[in-house]
Structure 1
Amino acid sequence: MDMPQSQEAQQIKRLALIASDTERAQEAFQELVQTNDWVPQDEADALVVLGGDGFMLQTLHAMLDTNRIIPAYGMNLGTIGFLMNRYRNGKTLAKRVAKARALRIAPITMQAVTKDGSRHAMRAINEVSLLRETRQTAKIEVSVDDRVRIKELVCDGVLLATPAGSTAYNLSANGPILPLDSELLALTPISAFRPRRWGGAILPDRSAVTFRVLEPEKRPVSAVADQKELRDIAEVALKIDRDTELTLLFDPGHALDERIVAEQFVV
């Protein structure tokens, strides 16, 4: 959900700074730490994140785990930087953050049941993937809003991706790229054998999706919520959690929309 430029960003007064452990990010950290007044993260109104998309994802998960969620302004010192702004050093950083456009993203909540009947809850910002554990193909029943849509998906796996995750594993599996403010989800098969022609679906993000593993003893399946794995899955229920929305800050005129379009024409 897109937010007005001044509603949230202009309320930011105190900034914290963190960086990934890569050489480029650490060099930038040493430059910036001298040019701005920084506070500890637990005292900050917003967090400046130096690194790539992976480090931004790690940082957002840390916020979810500690239940202290503040806006994050990323500067790209990684590879793609889909969730990041262009890196610039200097004393204008606080002004950039104050003028930034705020965009909210909501994680997927995963309620999983394993073969032994135990229940587990996880959250994913990018995607939840179900993946076969052995050489046997997986067989998975796919339901959307309590209606069975595919009785038996024979595949290496299947995933549900948010817009933030649509350019990650979802894109590698030939899933669609979703604009960050689209309020959509990508339901994407991974190496589907049957139905042969099913290429996935785009769903409203209010949809509730359930994956039920068929023949779990013979065809074991794991569930991965971003980087956290749970093995021997029987069933997974997924939905967007609007109660724990995260906020990303982007520069005005940020070329994110152009990059979303351009990614779809890469050959």
Structure 2
Amino acid sequence: MPAGRSSGPVLAFVASTAPEAQLAARRLSRFYGENDPDKADIVVALGGDGFMLQTLHRFLGTEKPIYGMNRGSVGFLMNEFREDGLVERIAQAERSVVHPLNMRCRDSSGRLTEARALNEVSLLRQSFQAAKLEIAIDGQVRLPELVADGVLVATPTGSTAYNFSANGPILPLNAPLIALTPISAFRPRHWRGALLPDSTAITITVLEPDKRPVAAVADHFETRDAREVSVAMDRSVNLVMLHDPGHSLDERILREQFGTDPADLHGRERHFTAR
């Protein structure tokens, strides 16, 4: 690391509990300054994609830019870790603006829970019994009965994560779409999901909930024994991520769409977005 303190925006470093992330945070703070994340201009997140999602949730609604550096096992959302030239890298970084999904879930006790998701909202069977679900789009029932392990609603950012693993489509970051994807559908077998405008309101009702209990999950926030779940994108909330030139989120999603291994192009390991 070069000697001296760099000038530029006020940076704050937050790190996952991984030892390599904690060490990186200490070293970077000594050089670039140790500042309160709530008062900093830019937050630098050190960890993997899971920690990046936690950091975005933490600063939800602030529009504070988050610059991630990979000190974890998965780094689709992260930049390459380097200690030198961080201020210059951030100054040249490209902005990606994404919006969260808002989940409203009513459980078996009648309690209403609300949570945000940056990747996806998932409804998952809670027992050995397959889930039985009714799906309504903008108030109109489109699928009276889906028997499956579950169903998920994914943002473009989350379309490369669990959605892709469930054979859902990868969405360009700037596409005004959300993906509705079944998880191991048993009936109707032919249904492969839907691409919907991101202004769509989706309501999923759990059928036979006592016999076939279902959990609703917004990223890492879980509600058990869900009865009815509503999902809609909240475009009034902007989440800002910073990426090095040539490695923007748009570019990474395009590589995934064409099956291009970044290792072939840039000598980096291929990564997928963590749930």
The residue that corresponds to 1:106 in the other structure is 99
1:230 aligns with 2:219: no
1:154 aligns with 2:147: yes
The residue that corresponds to 2:243 in the other structure is 250
Aligned counterpart for 1:209 among listed residues 202, 222, 240 = 202
Answer whether contact 2:173 2:253 (CA < 8 A) is retained: no
What is the CA RMSD across the aligned residues, in angstroms? 2.0
Deviation per CA, 1:1-40: give whole Å up to 9, x if none. xxxxxxxxxxx82111111121222232233223213421
Answer whether contact 2:46 2:68 (CA < 8 A) is retained: yes
Between stretches 229-238 and 71-80, larger displacement belongs to: 71-80
Once the two structures are TM-superposed, the CA of residue 149 in structure 1 deviates from its matched residue by 1.6
Answer whether contact 1:72 1:247 (CA < 8 A) is retained: yes
Answer whether contact 2:209 2:227 (CA < 8 A) is retained: yes
The residue that corresponds to 2:268 in the other structure is none
Unaligned segments of structure 2, at least 5 residues: 1-7, 262-275
Once the two structures are TM-superposed, the CA of residue 239 in structure 1 deviates from its matched residue by 0.5
Equivalences, count: 253
Once the two structures are TM-superposed, the CA of residue 152 in structure 1 deviates from its matched residue by 0.4
Indicate the SS of the match to 1:193: strand
Distance of 1:48 and 1:150 partners within structure 2: 43
The residue that corresponds to 2:272 in the other structure is none
Between stretches 241-250 and 122-131, larger displacement belongs to: 241-250
Once the two structures are TM-superposed, the CA of residue 101 in structure 1 deviates from its matched residue by 1.5
Aligned counterpart for 1:141 among listed residues 108, 113, 134 = 134
Q: Normalising by structure 1, what TM-score?
A: 0.88
Partner amino acid, structure 2, of 1:58: Q
Q: Normalising by structure 2, what TM-score?
A: 0.85
Distance of 2:247 and 2:39 partners within structure 1: 28
Between stretches 45-54 and 249-258, larger displacement belongs to: 249-258
Once the two structures are TM-superposed, the CA of residue 150 in structure 1 deviates from its matched residue by 0.9
Between stretches 170-179 and 50-59, larger displacement belongs to: 170-179
The residue that corresponds to 2:76 in the other structure is 82
Indicate the SS of the match to 2:13: strand
Aligned counterpart for 2:14 among listed residues 5, 14, 18 = 18
Aligned counterpart for 2:56 among listed residues 44, 57, 60 = 60
Deviation per CA, 1:30-80: give whole Å up to 9, x if none. 33223213421121111011111100011111223xx54411011122233
Answer whether contact 2:96 2:249 (CA < 8 A) is retained: no
Indicate the SS of the match to 1:79: coil
Deviation per CA, 1:169-208: give whole Å up to 9, x if none. 1122111222322232111101100110111112221111
